[in-house]
Structure 1
Amino acid sequence: MPKANVPVLKEPKPRKKGSRKVAGVLFLLVLILLCVLFFRSSLSKISVITFEGNTYQSDKELLEISGLKTGAPFFGTSASKIKSRLSGVKSIEEVTVDKSFPGSIEITVHEFPVVAYELTEEGRLNGLLANGTKIPLKNGSIPIEKPILTGWSVDDPYFEKLCGTLAKIPESLTSEISEITPSPSVSYPDRIKMYTRSHFEIISAISVLPDKAEYMNMIMDSQDPGTLTLLEADTYVPYTPIEDETDDENDTTHD
């Protein structure tokens, strides 16, 4: 039988990979060029830095502590690093950092509240924060109604605890207290004496004061001024009224 002519299939030629490599290199070069242009442009720099909520430190002071400055790389410092630096400020309780592209950084600080005041030897008032930090009052600032702590030594271990305790008591009650002095005893080394604007003398202890605050407020609202003891047992003794004495007999002289 005659053999049929079978066409010979040509083997496909391998595609040239050179064009793909060239395209890939060009793409990388363009990408690198764009990155260089971006990081050298103003879009990659910090343009605006704002602070909110700070009253004890100025914007300039916080800016220096944060390590930020306008014109610095926007991606050069993370929000967590900024927060960590500012959290070292004793008057700051919490920090929130909001970075918004392009170039905006907004920092909100929440400071410890003022719970009392301290009168210095120079006759100046220091604000005492809830964590015991002392803040000098700026000239012209008007102190709010808070107790003044007197007679406390610098190294008193209960000073900071008292400040923290005052932060847990309603402001309506602490504003009624005019002065707090230490009065330790064997049973209560953290015992204190408080004097109110309504002329009560209150003996209590830092450790029990938050639990006694409601009863203390009730007595002050319903009773006449007196001595109120708020320890393991609560007692109230009103002051003895001072009565005017009159002479029943008139002095006479005899010639």
Structure 2
Amino acid sequence: MEERKVVSIEDRIPKLKQSRRKKANRRLILYLSILFLLIATVIYLQSPLSNVNKVVVKGQQHVSAEEIKKLSKITNKNNYWKIDPSEVEKRVKKHVQITNVQVSRRFPGTVMINVDEAERIGYIQKDGKFQPILEDGSRLSATSKVPTGDAPVLSGFTDEMYLKEISQELKKLPESITSLISEVHWDPDDDNPYRIRLYMSDGYEVVASIRNFSSKMPAYPSIVAQLSPKDKGIIHIDVGTYFEKYPSKEKKEENDEHGQG
């Protein structure tokens, strides 16, 4: 029978003491690390290092980034961790041209503000200047000497109801179509108070009705593709769809002047 080695208690006590000491040291280091981390966090939160150091605005086109930053009320004196994105979004969205806002934070101190602007549907000429019209038919107080070219000129819309309706219809059109429209004139007659006349950038006129404008106008490129480039005139899409060639050179020149205006 194999003889077992007997370890005396005297021999084991130093080893037990050493093991306990190591565990105690590890525990002490852990507690000190946590304490140091807490102290460092408190110091960081109370120091300028935790403040916002940059506000980045994206998505704006007509509204300046500085104006959006002013609406957000965020400065480098604001604590980065105390920024409430939902509250900032509410403040920025009060701007008449802003339809949607998303605010996010990027460590260590950047606040991102992404905005969507209301689409500019057209421009109304007033007192020799051009006033932007938004997608809901509302007018901006700001004016410019010339339209920026991102939307057609709307002419003759003295009735706000028809202005709002044509704005809604233009909003539904793809950009590939609206980019071809130079001017939209309200041209009512006894039979149709919703009749409009469009002057296109490629030299044609279009007679249409506000009521079915967004559903019929997308066919414009395919209609033009069937016409001879030499023949300019009026494309009727208000009731039926047919082409009316200009009866004289003078009429053609008049249309060209509108299209280039």
TM-score, scaled relative to structure 1: 0.69
Percentage identity across paired residues of the two chains: 25
Partner SS state of residue 234, structure 2: strand
1-side partners of 2:44 and 2:100: how far apart? Answer: 34
Cα offsets for 1:147-205 (capped at 9, x unmatched): 2111123x612323322322332333323322212234576543322122344332212
2:167 is equivalent to residue 160 of structure 1: no
Aligned partners of 2:177 and 2:218 also within 8 Å: no
The structure 2 residue matched to 1:218, chosen from 211, 216, 222, is 222
Counterpart CA distance in 1 for 2:123 and 2:190 is 27
Provide the TM-score with structure 2 as the length reference. 0.68
CA contact (8 A) 1:198 1:225 kept: no
Unaligned runs of 5+ in 2: 1-34, 251-261
Matches within 5 A, 1:40-189: 40-121=46-127, 123-134=128-139, 136=142, 143-144=148-149, 146-153=151-158, 156-184=160-188, 188-189=192-193
Deviates more, 1:80-89 or 1:214-223: 214-223
TM-align CA RMSD: 3.4
Unaligned 5+ residue runs, structure 1?
A: 1-28, 244-255
Aligned residues: 216
The alpha carbon displacement at 1:76 in A equals: 2.8
More helix by share: 2
Q: What is the identity, as a one-letter code, of the residue corresponding to 1:125?
A: F
Offset of residue 107 of structure 1: 0.9
Partner AA of 2:244 in structure 1: V
* Structure 1: distance between partners of 2:174 and 2:225: 15
Alignment check: 8 A CA contact 2:236 2:242 kept: yes
* Residues in 2 aligned to 1:144 and 1:230: alpha-carbon distance in whole angstroms: 25
Report the alpha carbon displacement of residue 212 of structure 1 after superposing the two structures with TM: 0.8
For residue 206 of structure 1, what is the aligned residue in structure 2? 210
Q: Deviations over 1:7-50 (max 9, x none)?
A: xxxxxxxxxxxxxxxxxxxxxx9998666434312243222111
Distance 2:152 2:91 in 1: 32
Question: In the alignment, what sits opposite 2:18?
Answer: none
Q: CA distance change for structure 1 residues 221 and 146 in 2, over 3 Å: closer, same or farther?
A: farther
Alignment partners' CA distance in 2, 1:119 and 1:157: 17
Which protein is bigger by CA-based radius of gyration? 1
Matched position secondary structure for 2:68: helix
Name the CA distance, whole Å, in 1 between partners of 2:224 and 2:214: 16
